[in-house]
Amino acid sequence: MPLFIGIDPGSRVTGYGIVETTGQGIRYRGSGVIRVGGADAVPVRLVAIKRGIDGVIAEHHPAAVAVEDVFISRNPRSALTLGQARGVILLAAAEAGIPVFEYAPREVKSSVTGIGSAHKSQVAAMVVRLLRPGREIGCEDESDALAVAFCHALRAGVPSGRLR
């Protein structure tokens, strides 16, 4: 059964979530975060993010990687740094020969909650309800990444009525 990795890029905390599609629907397979030192220079953080994503890909051998698009912020410097983090994530997937799919934040939120403007706490609650991970999801970066993976699994053809 295909595994999909969803990634919520961040320049300090990058979340990842892994789901599996089965004849029964979409199941939780794992999740976590890659934390990098906030005091480190951007190039050092980018190397750490790339190595972390390389490790997740090597461990799980996904059929696809789904990445959340950059949310346009009011701070151009933050948007640029986030774009650089996304770039190393896209590079890691491309080097591994894995197809990459990108989703707008509104599309991800809508796929999980039915509302494109849902608050992060609503997304987190629905991720737990839909995927039943069997453990507490540590932070919003992790639940957002699971939401991206869930969104891709739905777009890849898993019937929405069969969620587990």
- Residues annotated as catalytic (active site), given as ranges: 8, 68, 141
104: nearest Cα among 118, 122, 91, 116 = 116
Q: Residue 121: which H helix or E strand, with range?
A: helix 120-131
**Assigned token pair, 86:** 């996304």
Taking a C-beta distance cutoff of 8 angstroms, is the pair 145, 56 a contact?
Answer: no
Q: Which two tokens stand for residue 34?
A: 């890659």
Burial string for 62-90 (b: 16+ CB within 10 Å, else e) reads bbbbbbbbbeeeeeeeeeebbebbbebbb
